[in-house]
Amino acid sequence: MATQTESELKMAQLLVDALNLEDMEAEEIDPEDQLFGDGLGLDSIDALEISLAISKEYGVQIKAEDEGTREAFKTLRSLTAFVEENK
């Protein structure tokens, strides 16, 4: 597993809390694993929950129609980088 940075760990904790991920600790989310589909197994409702949690925590709005959104939601690493860039 790739090593999490401090900001990735904070984002991982947001995911665990917002999505109520069962039996999973924030430290266990590989920053380079796919969040959706085969990786963590998240789905479209989770994407909405993540957007809401990020908007409340970081004040960053993620819009479904924006070009960068699909790329941002790929991994914990890309999501954290997207939020850092848009804060």
Partner 1 sequence: MQSKTLKCKIAGIGAWGSYFESWQALQALLNGASLPETKLKGPKPDIIPANERRRAPLPVKLAVASSWQATQDAGVEADTLTCVFASGLGDTDLTDYMCKTLASEHKALSPTKFHNSVHNAPAGYWTISTGTMKAANSVAGYENLVSLTLLEAMIQCETENTPMLLTFYDAPVAQILTPVLPNQETFAFSLVVFPHSADVEGPLLTANVEQQEHTTWPALQSKSDYLRRLYAANPAAKILSLAELLEQPKRDIVVPLSSGTALTFSCEK
Q: Residues interacting with partner 1, by CB under 8 A?
A: 19-22, 41, 43, 45, 48-49, 52, 55-56
In the complex with partner 1, which residue's Cβ is closer, 3 or 20? 20
Distance in Å, CB of 3 to partner 1, minimum: 26
Nearer to partner 1, 56 or 70 (CB): 56
Distance between CA atoms of 83 and 87, rounded to whole angstroms? 6
CB of 54 to partner 1, least distance (A): 11
CA distance 45 to 43: 6
- Compute φ and ψ for 5, nearest 5 degrees: -80, 175
